[in-house]
Amino acid sequence: MTKLKVGFIGTGKMPERRGPMGYAMAYEHAEGYKKLEACEMVACADIVQENADAFAKKYGIQRTYLNYREMLEKEKLDVVSVCTWPKLHAEMAIACAQAGVRLCHCEKPMDLTFGGSRRMLQVAAQFGMHLNFNHQRRYGKPFRETKRLIDAGEIGPVVRMEAAIGDLYDGGTHWVDMLNYFNGEAPPKWVIGQIDARTERRVFGAPVEWQGICHVKYANGVSGLFVTGGECRAALGIPFRVVGARGVIEIAWDPKPGPMLRYWKEGSPDWIAVDCANEHLHGPGYIDRAIADAVDCLLAGRECELCARHAMNATEIIFACYESSRRRARIDCPLDISDNPLESMIAHGDVAFAPAS
């Protein structure tokens, strides 16, 4: 069997402590490809030679590059993982499509701007490239079990969904995507929100709000509520709650003291715990499963759960919330902007974004 040739853009350097300045996600992706018989990791590119060399040595990769475009031109890759900061995602995914890459598995969020996000989806479709984004929580047991309970009608039709997270753009892209998953990928009808950005906060180079609230009305009538920032997040109490006509599902921050997942339905005298084994909000094994499914979908010629179409659904909600704060009005979808409203508000002095003391 001819193996899929896999390359990486942005290996990074494994930090002593992962955080908003670096996470070295290429290493996580590589661990997933390493487990797949169908894949062979052949090349990597990073702007720092020692980073590329260290990554190549760990995974037995023969060729390294300082310029990702040179790698794309010379290697004729089937699969590329893009693991750089968001501001580079669109240009790199587009370059992959133009170079004939069959699958681009990109880190989230989609791009720093809404226009860039839209463009990468369009170009991928034009060239027939599978473009996925690493919303790996879709493969976690707490989330799979929640979707199973919803689909089985255990809480009746979904009425409202709630989520709490540190920020809407970076960490929040997982949370928005997850509520979309629970809600059958229904698109937003309108979004209204407000954010506070009085203190500078950046994650992987992208500006994010310090605190915010976002209300979404989906096309199927379901309501979604997102709260961000420490105080708002604490007020909600848990990261996820799904309210149905006849019951409620809750996902906890941590399996201890537990349960990680519980639900209540009409007629039940108490909450019902759902066994999620050792799985929690972040893993283990979610990225491995995401990589495996992305490759399997490529080989089978079917759309992956991680597809750009689903990611764009989440991206529209995020930027619509920022746009609502900019316009001080409800935003009816589809969203009609190309920039990043938060970035624009910062540039025009409409939000303080003062350096943290």
The three-state DSSP-derived secondary structure of the chain is: CCCEEEEEECCCCCCCCCECCECCHHHHHHHHHHCCCCEEEEEEECCCHHHHHHHHHHHCCCEEECCHHHHHHHHCCCEEEECCCHHHHHHHHHHHHHCCCCEEEECCCCCCCHHHHHHHHHHHHHHCCEEEECCHHHHCHHHHHHHHHHHCCCCCCEEEEEEEECCCCCHHHHHHHHHHHHCCCCCEEEEEEEEECCECCEECCEECCCEEEEEEEECCCCEEEEEECHHHHHHHCCCEEEEECCEEEEECCCCCCCCCEEEEECCCCCCEEECCCCCCCCCCCHHHHHHHHHHHHHHHCCCCCCEHHHHHHHHHHHHHHHHHHHHCCCEECCCCCCCCHHHHHHHCCCCCCECCC
pLDDT in tens, 74-124: 999 999 999 999 999 999 999 999 999 999 999 999 999 999 999 999 999
**21 contacts: CB under 8 Å, gap ≥ 6:** 15, 204
pLDDT in tens, 296-308: 999 999 999 999 9
* Contact assessment for residue 171 and residue 137, using Cβ atoms and an 8 Å cutoff: no
Q: Calculate mean pLDDT across residues 221-226.
A: 98
Q: What is the pLDDT of residue 18?
A: 63
Cβ-based neighbour number of residue 1 at 10 Å: 5
Token digits of residue 33: 């490809």
Q: What is the pLDDT of residue 235?
A: 82
In the structure, what pLDDT confidence band is assigned to residue 258 with cuts at 50, 70 and 90?
confident
Range with lowest mean pLDDT among 3-17, 179-193, 322-336: 3-17
Strand duo 158-165 + 130-133: pairing: unpaired
Cβ-based neighbour number of residue 271 at 10 Å: 14
Separation CA 266–CA 159 (nearest Å): 15
Q: Calculate mean pLDDT across residues 256-279.
A: 95
Residue percentage of the chain with pLDDT more than 70: 97
* Surface-to-core class of residue 62, CB atoms within 10 Å of its CB (0-12 exposed, 13-18 middle, 19+ buried): exposed
Strand partners, 24: none
* Contact assessment for residue 18 and residue 93, using Cβ atoms and an 8 Å cutoff: no
Cβ-based neighbour number of residue 348 at 10 Å: 9
Q: Is the pLDDT of residue 353 over 70?
A: yes
Q: What is the pLDDT of residue 23?
A: 72
Domains and CATH numbers, the chain: 4-136 (3.40.50.720), 139-357 (3.30.360.10)
What does the radius of gyration of the chain's CA atoms come to, in whole angstroms?
20
pLDDT in tens, 23-47: 789 999 999 999 999 999 999 999 9
Q: Is the pLDDT of residue 256 over 80?
A: yes
Q: Is the pLDDT of residue 200 over 80?
A: yes
| Amino acid at residue number 222 | V
Q: How far is CA 53 from the centre of its chain?
A: 28
Cβ-based neighbour number of residue 104 at 10 Å: 28
In the structure, what pLDDT confidence band is assigned to residue 236 with cuts at 50, 70 and 90?
confident
Averaged confidence pLDDT in the chain: 95
Q: Is the pLDDT of residue 157 over 70?
A: yes
Angle between helices 114-127 and 308-327 (to 10 degrees): 160
| Amino acid at residue number 314 | A
Q: What is the pLDDT of residue 313?
A: 98
Strand duo 261-265 + 247-251: pairing: antiparallel
Separation CA 25–CA 290 (nearest Å): 13
| Amino acid at residue number 236 | L
Strand duo 39-45 + 4-9: pairing: parallel
* Contact assessment for residue 148 and residue 295, using Cβ atoms and an 8 Å cutoff: no
* Contact assessment for residue 331 and residue 313, using Cβ atoms and an 8 Å cutoff: no
pLDDT in tens, 162-186: 999 999 999 999 999 999 999 999 9
